[in-house]
Structure 1
Amino acid sequence: MSLESAAEDGEDEYTFDDLSVVMGTYNEEAAIGTVLSDIERVTDGRAEVVCVDGSSDRTPDIAREHGARVIEQEPQGYGVAVREAVLAAERPVVVTTDCDDTYPMEALPRFLERINEGYDVVSGDRLYHGASAMPAFNRLGNHAFALLASALMGRRVHDTTTGMRAYRRDVVRRIRWTENTGLSAELLVRPLMRDYRVREEPIDYRERAGETKLDPLAGGAAIAGSILRVCLEERLR
């Protein structure tokens, strides 16, 4: 059943009118317009869009031109911005994404359908199809993060650091999020270890537009540390 027909039939299912798409943005003027246009096209302009921005370029202006709600924030890192964006969402289903045009907004209907099936978190698995557009070093690191998290949790996961996920808003508001660089992993690990219904959904992954802001070595060490810390904290809850 389509999202539109479910609403027409009066069934209690989420539609694009119940969807917030949120992201942290930092100097992404090369890609932000494309990402927001894709969201508008796929959701018929019905989704709420929230950008938490610390840019010095035209990123926030472009976001506002596309109707996004922009929350200005001093640059404090990826996780601080995304955490603010997630908690600022006003609709019952929240989708995180990056603003560099690597993630397919065409997956939004499928993510929403999975939430309607009863999942609490739907996590985009970039590695399922190989992620050939991802630099080889990053791809190797992401496989290693997944193996580390799987070993610590006792449950197999395939992509812990994807930036595209859908959440029931009440889930993200029940959990205290603590990580910065490693927030993407934390956003998967804590719900899994609290027995929420989580599904990894294969998605395509494109080459990013613009330059990455993350140092792969320092960032990788921070993410691994976050996985260790969060898994330990959840074990001791």
Structure 2
Amino acid sequence: MSSQQSSETDSAFTFDDLAVVMGTYNEEDAIATVLEDIDSVTDGRAEVVCVDGSSDRTPEIAREHGATVIEQEPQGYGVAVRAAVLAPERPVVVTTDCDDTYPMERLPDFLAEINDGADVVSGDRLYYGAEEMPGLNKLGNELFALLASVAMGKRVHDTTTGMRAYRRGLLHQIRWTENTGLSAELLMRPLMRGYDVRERPIEYDERKGETKLDPFEGGAAIAKSILKVAFEERLR
């Protein structure tokens, strides 16, 4: 058990201790649905933070639904998500994407895992087949998981999922360096440092709106990040 885990498990966390965060970029087609789902599942008790670089109505819609919006010049996925995960004061932070692909109804399950002692709970999109995911993306995600597993010497199943729960202390104890590959880094560094990291199957839905990531350029950046992070952690 990590030291932060032992100090944070004296009482059970509730939705009042939960922040749901995301980077947003031109997601006006989906953001309202995502925020309404979070509000419904948590009875409006979860804090929601969006780090936004949009040129459409995404930030206005987010504010209308009660989210805190941190405006940021577009600098890539990881820059936005890193700012998002470090912003809340609440002790449990859940990341999600703003394209309505992730099941917000699983928030109680993730919170229960944290209360059970987990430091990180990572949603495995591939467990159920991820039939709504484009074939090239699915293959890439399977290869990323294989690469990370070999590089770390620890089996993981979905390194690039956007839905995870973290203890806030962990997020501030580790220095995050990656941009496109941040999602893999957020899983790999805690795992290689001995934190209690659990992968749990989640459903994955078809995204609303257009994807912003080039599959080849983005895929190469993620693979590079996986190797870099594994190498750095092995040298610690």
Q: Same fold (TM over 0.5)?
A: yes
Equivalences for residues 179-194 of structure 1 within 5 A: 179-194=178-193
Are 2:22 and 1:23 equivalent residues in the alignment?
yes
Are 2:121 and 1:145 equivalent residues in the alignment?
no
Letter paired with 2:148: A
- CA displacement, residues 44-71 of structure 1 (integer Å, 9 cap, x when unaligned): 0000000000000000000000000000
* Cross-structure match for 2:162: 163
Q: Could you tell me how far 1:22 is from its partner in structure 2?
A: 0.2
* Cross-structure match for 1:70: 69
Q: Distance in 2 between matches of 1:191 and 1:133?
A: 29
* Cross-structure match for 1:7: none
Letter paired with 2:157: H
List gaps (5 residues or longer) in structure 2: 1-9
Q: Could you tell me how far 1:89 is from its partner in structure 2?
A: 1.2
* Cross-structure match for 2:132: 133
Equivalences for residues 220-231 of structure 1 within 5 A: 220-231=219-230
- CA displacement, residues 154-205 of structure 1 (integer Å, 9 cap, x when unaligned): 1110000000000000001100000000000000000000000000010000
* Cross-structure match for 1:124: 123
Q: Could you tell me how far 1:234 is from its partner in structure 2?
A: 0.4
% identical aligned pairs: 78
Q: Distance in 2 between matches of 1:163 and 1:89?
A: 17
Q: TM-score under structure 2 normalisation?
A: 0.96
Letter paired with 2:46: A
* Cross-structure match for 1:89: 88
Q: Could you tell me how far 1:103 is from its partner in structure 2?
A: 0.2
Letter paired with 1:58: R
Q: Distance in 1 between matches of 2:134 and 2:184?
A: 19
* Cross-structure match for 1:212: 211
List gaps (5 residues or longer) in structure 1: 1-10
Q: Could you tell me how far 1:90 is from its partner in structure 2?
A: 1.4
SS in 2 for 1:85: helix
SS in 2 for 1:210: coil
Q: TM-score under structure 1 normalisation?
A: 0.95
Q: Could you tell me how far 1:87 is from its partner in structure 2?
A: 0.3
Q: Distance in 2 between matches of 1:65 and 1:24?
A: 17
Letter paired with 1:56: S
Q: Distance in 2 between matches of 1:116 and 1:107?
A: 14
Moved over 2 A (4+): none
SS in 2 for 1:14: coil
Letter paired with 1:159: D
